[in-house]
């Protein structure tokens, strides 16, 4: 009985680990939400710029970063 309640199997340690995982999960989803919100804002601005410019290929395309591996 006492060997089961020591180290990582101690009830306090299990509760701590669960709280830590929940906290990490909340932080991850908060960062993911912020990333998505920023991406939508960027795409909305890009769409607006594209629709209002006279020649999108010359004015907009050079400003878009190219990701070439």
The pLDDT value recorded for residue 67 is: 62
Q: Pick the residue with more confidence: 39 or 57?
A: 39
C-alpha 61/C-alpha 23 separation (Å) is: 41
Is pTM beyond 0.85? Reply is no
Q: Give the pLDDT confidence of 42-67 residue by residue, as tens digits.
A: 889 888 888 888 887 777 777 777 76
Q: Pick the residue with more confidence: 2 or 12?
A: 12
Q: Give the pLDDT confidence of 11-30 residue by residue, as tens digits.
A: 888 899 999 999 999 999 99
Query: What is the CA 57 to chain-centroid distance, rounded?
Result: 30
- pLDDT band at residue 41, thresholds of 50, 70 and 90? very high
């Amino acid at each position: 009985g006492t060997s089961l309640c020591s180290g990582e199997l101690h009830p306090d340690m299990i509760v701590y680990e669960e709280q830590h995982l929940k906290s990490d999960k909340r932080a991850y989803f908060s960062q993911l939400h912020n990333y998505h919100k920023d991406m939508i804002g960027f795409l909305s601005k890009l769409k607006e710029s594209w629709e209002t410019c006279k020649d999108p290929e010359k004015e907009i395309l050079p400003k878009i970063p190219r990701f070439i591996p």
